[in-house]
Copies of this chain bind each other. A is one copy, B any other.
Amino acid sequence: MVAFLRWAVLFVPLCHAVRLHHNLYCDAGEVDIRRPPQPSRFGSPWPLPQHMKLSTDTFQLSGGGFAIVDAEESSARSDCSILQDAYRRCYLHMFGSDVGKHARTTGSPVLTELQVWISSPDPECDGYPTVTSDESYELFVSLPNAVLKAATVWGALHGLETFSQLVREDESGIKCINETIIQDFPRFAYRGVLLDTSRHFLPVRSILTTLEAMAMNKFNVFHWHIVDDTSFPYMSRTFPELSRKGAYHPYTHVYTPGEVKLVIEFARLRGIRVLPEFDTPGHTQSWGKGQPDLLTPCYSGATPSGTYGPVNPILNSTYDFMTTFFKEISEVFPDAYIHLGGDEVDFTCWKSNPDIQKFMVKQGFGQDYSKLESYYIQRLLDIVSSLKKGYVIWQEVFDNGVKLKPDTIVHVWIGGGTNEELGNVTSAGYTTVLSAPWYLDYISYGQDWQKYYKVEPLNFNGTAQQKKLVVGGEACMWGEYVDGTNLTPRLWPRASAVAERLWSAVDVTDPDDAFDRLSAHRCRMVGRGIAAEPLFSSYCPKEFRGA
């Protein structure tokens, strides 16, 4: 029998008295959940599916007697390696080392098969996910077999993850699953995580672990802030000096072309886009080490001071370099977009340089150096457009009035005035991605996941048409204080809160149910080898066994 459940939207703001020894900060409106986690009536899917009908009837599953197979009607065949890979992953997530076990002969009926049915003529087995990919799926868990139906492999990947999350152990340690019907699709098409591999180098292994965890949370964009002032770990084929001189170390702290390819393919197999960011004209100190004359020489009075500022926007050689460099980038990274940065340009050095001053006069820019910045960005955008790539830029580029192609994505990150900015960007007709409330590198004591969870991205003044332009959001983990030692527990499960906000329905906001499901979800991640940190005093059946 299938019972219909409605989403509970019970917001219970209770903030217990502060205790001295084990003080708990409780921000305005934040819920201080001090009870042990309870089983949620939804089980523990995270993020919560859009529509879910859950029966109390259960089926047994066993590693020795369960198969995930292509449905006969499916357009994907056995050579669709992205699916085959996902079947294997799903199976391992469900059964781990219990692969040889068989179901009991008594007890609940046995479910032996999950059939995966790709319904679109082109399953997109060899494609890359895009911002317009169809990620929806339907899941029918019933006898004689479970069916996962999706238009493309992208929806199927999410459905397999959900299926694996529905499987649990009963009191006797038997794997079981409830009779269930799910119709699911993301609320937002862009659900990103930013890693910064410049301020600290992240070993490829850390990046792959992050991609694994992202797939468990249905994130679909890895925004790779790959280079910055501090170091240039990207090994360029056309300009090898950039990493040779700009990386922390030319051999141990670089990403080789093979490793970049590995990251992209590992991400693709999990339905994740890799959006590379090469931020200019600021944040480029490390570029200057391997590319002479790229940066602006700063002056102290009438003489060069020996230090360098942003990219030099007045030399033709700069644009020749950018053309060649971004041609390489557009070939190495298959995604339709490149993130071009454009944030935080410091004008001090430009102002000090007499050649720049002359150029300003010649161009009629007066003393308005943001016009010079726009001049540079405009030319850069033209270059990237000619490479048939779309671009994402940080919000300052929009704020400064640079002319943008209509399909440009404006990335909103500044903490103050976020809603006003979203209104401005969308009323100008631009697509936008929101990161401002989700700077996860900022840490604080207590359950700050709730703060991230409570954000409503569309809570700004604007028409329905404007709101459609918010394609999603992104959790940012900047790298000043983060490297391979602490990345994973700092990112998870805090980023999971963002994941559910971006995937689930607008009214999925009950903090108590979220606490219960998220507690189970973080233990599930721990069980799968992800060092996701705890929400509050409690335990996991299988604790983390790393260092």
List of B residues within 8 angstroms of A486 by Cβ: 486, 489-490, 531, 533-534
Q: How many copies does the complex hold?
A: 2
One digit per residue, 1 when the CB lies within 8 angstroms of any chain B CB and 0 when it does not, for chain A 413-449 equals 1100000000000000000000000000111111000
Q: Which residue of B lies closest to A206 (CB)?
A: B547
List of B residues within 8 angstroms of A547 by Cβ: 205-206, 209, 488, 529-531, 546-547
Contact flag A20-B445 (CB < 8 Å), given A249-B539, A481-B534 = no
Chain A contact patch, size range: 35 or more
Cβ-based interface call for A499 (8 A): no
Task: Decide: A413 and B538 in contact? CB cutoff 8 A.
Answer: no
| A537 CA to B544 CA, complexed, in Å | 28
| A442 CA to B537 CA, complexed, in Å | 15
List of B residues within 8 angstroms of A22 by Cβ: 478, 480
| A546 CA to B23 CA, complexed, in Å | 32
Cβ-based interface call for A46 (8 A): no
Q: Which residue of B lies closest to A532 (CB)?
A: B485
Task: Decide: B443 and A445 in contact? CB cutoff 8 A.
Answer: yes
Contact flag A546-B543 (CB < 8 Å), given A413-B21, A486-B533, A534-B481 = no
| A53 CA to B388 CA, complexed, in Å | 64
In the assembled complex, how far is the CB of residue A70 from the closest CB belonging to chain B, in whole angstroms? 33
| A546 CA to B484 CA, complexed, in Å | 8
Task: Decide: B200 and A539 in contact? CB cutoff 8 A.
Answer: yes
In the assembled complex, how far is the CB of residue A15 from the closest CB belonging to chain B, in whole angstroms? 15
A-side interface mostly? loop
| A543 CA to B251 CA, complexed, in Å | 13
In the assembled complex, how far is the CB of residue A485 from the closest CB belonging to chain B, in whole angstroms? 4
Task: Decide: A537 and B443 in contact? CB cutoff 8 A.
Answer: no
Task: Decide: B199 and A543 in contact? CB cutoff 8 A.
Answer: no
Cβ-based interface call for A343 (8 A): yes
Contact flag A249-B541 (CB < 8 Å), given A443-B444, A547-B529 = yes
| A446 CA to B479 CA, complexed, in Å | 11
Cβ-based interface call for A230 (8 A): yes
Task: Decide: A533 and B485 in contact? CB cutoff 8 A.
Answer: yes
List of B residues within 8 angstroms of A23 by Cβ: 442
In the assembled complex, how far is the CB of residue A400 from the closest CB belonging to chain B, in whole angstroms? 14
Task: Decide: A199 and B546 in contact? CB cutoff 8 A.
Answer: no
List of B residues within 8 angstroms of A484 by Cβ: 531, 543-546
Contact flag A205-B545 (CB < 8 Å), given A443-B443, A445-B481, A486-B489 = yes
In the assembled complex, how far is the CB of residue A436 from the closest CB belonging to chain B, in whole angstroms? 11
Cβ-based interface call for A44 (8 A): no
In the assembled complex, how far is the CB of residue A395 from the closest CB belonging to chain B, in whole angstroms? 11
Task: Decide: B442 and A442 in contact? CB cutoff 8 A.
Answer: no
Cβ-based interface call for A376 (8 A): no
Cβ-based interface call for A299 (8 A): no
List of B residues within 8 angstroms of A514 by Cβ: none
Q: Which residue of B lies closest to A489 (CB)?
A: B486
Task: Decide: A485 and B444 in contact? CB cutoff 8 A.
Answer: no
Task: Decide: B546 and A201 in contact? CB cutoff 8 A.
Answer: no
| A343 CA to B20 CA, complexed, in Å | 10
**Interface residue ranges of A1-32 to B (CB < 8 Å):** 19-24
Task: Decide: B20 and A414 in contact? CB cutoff 8 A.
Answer: yes
Cβ-based interface call for A203 (8 A): yes
**Interface residue ranges of A184-227 to B (CB < 8 Å):** 199-201, 203, 205-206, 209
Task: Decide: B482 and A534 in contact? CB cutoff 8 A.
Answer: yes
Task: Decide: B203 and A543 in contact? CB cutoff 8 A.
Answer: yes
Q: Which residue of B lies closest to A341 (CB)?
A: B21
List of B residues within 8 angstroms of A539 by Cβ: 200-201, 231, 248-249, 253, 483
Task: Decide: B444 and A480 in contact? CB cutoff 8 A.
Answer: no
Cβ-based interface call for A132 (8 A): no
List of B residues within 8 angstroms of A293 by Cβ: none
Partner of A544, one of B199, B485, B538: B485
In the assembled complex, how far is the CB of residue A206 from the closest CB belonging to chain B, in whole angstroms? 8
Q: Provide a sorted-by-A list of 14 A–B residue pairs whose CB atoms are within 8 angstroms.
A: A19-B344, A22-B480, A203-B543, A205-B545, A209-B547, A248-B538, A248-B539, A252-B541, A252-B542, A441-B445, A443-B444, A483-B544, A485-B488, A485-B544
List of 5 A-B pairs having minimum Cβ-Cβ separation, nearest first: A486-B489, A199-B537, A248-B539, A485-B531, A486-B533
Q: A481-B533, A485-B488 are in contact. List 11 more A-B contacts (CB 8 A).
A: A19-B344, A20-B344, A200-B534, A200-B537, A201-B543, A483-B533, A484-B531, A484-B544, A485-B534, A486-B486, A486-B489
